[in-house]
Amino acid sequence: MSKTKELARHKRDRTWMWIQLLPVMLVLTVLFGGALVLGVAQSLGFAPWFGVNTFPDFSYFGALWGDSFFWRSLGLTLYYAIAATLISLVMGVLLALALVRSFPSKSLYKYLYKLPLMIPYTVGIALAVIMLGNGGMLSRLMAFAGFIDDPSQFPQILKTHMGWGIIAVYVWKQTPFVALTIYAVLLGVGRETEEAAAILGANKRQVFFQVTLPQILPGIISSTLIIFAFNIGAFEAPFILGGGFPDTLPVVAWRYFNDADYTLQLQGMATVVSIALVAGVILYSYLAFYRRYERRIGRH
Question: Interface residues with other proteins (CB under 8 A)?
Answer: 192-193, 195-203, 206, 210-211, 214-215, 297-299
38 in Cβ contact with 49 (< 8 Å): no
Residues in the chain: 300
Residue closer to other proteins by CB (options 99, 216) is 216
Q: What's the closest the beta carbon of residue 180 comes to other proteins, in angstroms?
A: 23
For the CA atoms of 262, 263, 269, 274, the dihedral, rounded to the nearest 10 degrees, stands at: -130
List residues bridging with 52 in a β-sheet: 47
d(CA 67, CA 71) in angstroms, rounded, equals 7
Q: What's the closest the beta carbon of residue 193 comes to other proteins, in angstroms?
A: 5
Residue closer to other proteins by CB (options 13, 192) is 192
Residues ≥6 apart with Cβ < 8 Å to 219: 181, 182, 184, 185
Residues ≥6 apart with Cβ < 8 Å to 82: 228
Q: Is the peptide bond before 246 cis (omega within 30 degrees of 0)?
A: yes
Q: What's the closest the beta carbon of residue 195 comes to other proteins, in angstroms?
A: 6
Residue closer to other proteins by CB (options 127, 198) is 198
Q: What's the closest the beta carbon of residue 96 comes to other proteins, in angstroms?
A: 18
Q: What's the closest the beta carbon of residue 294 comes to other proteins, in angstroms?
A: 9
Residue closer to other proteins by CB (options 150, 195) is 195
Residue closer to other proteins by CB (options 179, 207) is 207
